[in-house]
Structure 1
């Protein structure tokens, strides 16, 4: 039997974190909640693929210099060593080596490093940029205007459905709207395991398992449908599901290399 094509390996970059009131992400909850802001680098024979770009590199060492009082209120911890460009160099790559950047969506904690990759091909879900430039009033604080304006000058490809990035099913982009209009997850088939990186389709393991929406979803009904679809895909395929903002998941997979 022919072995199906795979990506070579995936790197989980060390993530800045914030500590917030859990009630902000889970209805009825309270208490401190530590959440990471991870990014992932996937090595494929056809090129390097980055999933999300995290916080701005200019904020490393002094988050309030970029994010203002909100950085202090949410207790962001972000060292200079956690800058994405420094982490890429540590594992042997320059930012200019990255040919493809998949943005799960355009909230500020996913778009901070886009300026590091001016020549890459970027991928967004359909409608994401249009909405981000004119969001509902109560969601405006999730976006940074300067990063959105910069995004308009990138090589952008908007996806109206799922997309097999290299045509071999090794890296599949999954359109799962609800948290935002164009939210994307990524399924990565590695030699020894298949992993689904959820982006913000769900923010906690409990929300994923119970198909519960996030308090600040753009469309809660669509968000629940997307979680249910992702759970069904997990059940059919046996893929591991990694919830990017869940600290329990982060403690399990953390920074490192996976094959």
Structure 2
């Protein structure tokens, strides 16, 4: 038995230049754009409906200069899944684009790394630069879930459900974790922001928002070690995902792609 696995695109930023996405890459007048897409991921199997990250709302997305395409919950509905059917949410980290919309999933238990929330409410948040990747309303919503006994914390490697594990790595944020999901094509690593783009791995250049660079590179090593092959790695923001994988159905073109089939490497 295995999971059906999907990527749901909910926002995009088509205006980013390539050099903006990698530390140490200088601006070049001949540089080409490298868009940033924003995703949540859905695993269905073993009688479970598991959402990996929850995206954010339109106001938060637009305030930060991105184009909001649809509520992540509408992406779920395009697959015939209502938000109340989600029983498990994996919070890879608490940055603004991954950790909103918690209230849309009333029946879910939320799984996170404790280091992440400890950082998000630590004294370093007195510094505006340090708190920039976080949204205060999202953090307050997470704490409400905690007080409602709907949060489960994990360190290291933990099996969340049969055939689905989370792996604490840090790097991009202190408590970042990625997910590994067993599918018909093998074990797929949903890297989240352990790598925003394939080129973070291929060029060994971190994304500019990074908490600890040695841990960032160690996280890439962990993702590649867990994934069946490099073709089983799904970066967190790479727009090529929408080209590499087929739409889940004719009416989800540009919205939802299947990750439980091999990518079309030639495209």
In structure 1, the residue matched to 2:64 is 70
Distance 2:78 2:240 in 1: 26
In structure 2, the residue matched to 1:158 is 153
TM-score normalised to structure 1 length? 0.83
Q: Secondary structure at the match of 1:15?
A: strand
Q: Any conservation in 2 of the 1:36–1:247 contact (CA below 8 Å)?
A: yes
Q: Any conservation in 1 of the 2:61–2:67 contact (CA below 8 Å)?
A: no
In structure 2, the residue matched to 1:88 is 76
Distance 1:242 1:95 in 2: 23
CA RMSD across the alignment: 2.1
Cα distance change on mapping 1:46 and 1:127 into 2, 3 Å: same
Stretches of 4+ aligned residues off by more than 4 angstroms:
none
Distance 2:77 2:164 in 1: 23
Cα distance change on mapping 1:122 and 1:36 into 2, 3 Å: same
Gaps of 5+ in 2: 248-255, 261-267
In structure 2, the residue matched to 1:62 is none
Distance 1:199 1:224 in 2: 14
In structure 1, the residue matched to 2:251 is none
Cα distance change on mapping 1:233 and 1:41 into 2, 3 Å: closer
Residue in structure 2 matching 1:147, options 138, 155, 158 = 138
Q: Any conservation in 1 of the 2:54–2:72 contact (CA below 8 Å)?
A: yes
Q: Any conservation in 2 of the 1:211–1:228 contact (CA below 8 Å)?
A: no
- Superposition pairs of residues 163-174 of structure 1, within 5 angstroms: 163-166=158-161, 168=162, 170-174=163-167
Distance 1:130 1:172 in 2: 22
The number of residues matched between the two structures is: 237
Q: Secondary structure at the match of 2:117?
A: helix
Deviation of residue 67 (structure 1)? Answer: 4.7
Q: Any conservation in 2 of the 1:125–1:181 contact (CA below 8 Å)?
A: no
Distance 2:157 2:10 in 1: 27
Deviation of residue 212 (structure 1)? Answer: 2.9
Gaps of 5+ in 1: 60-64
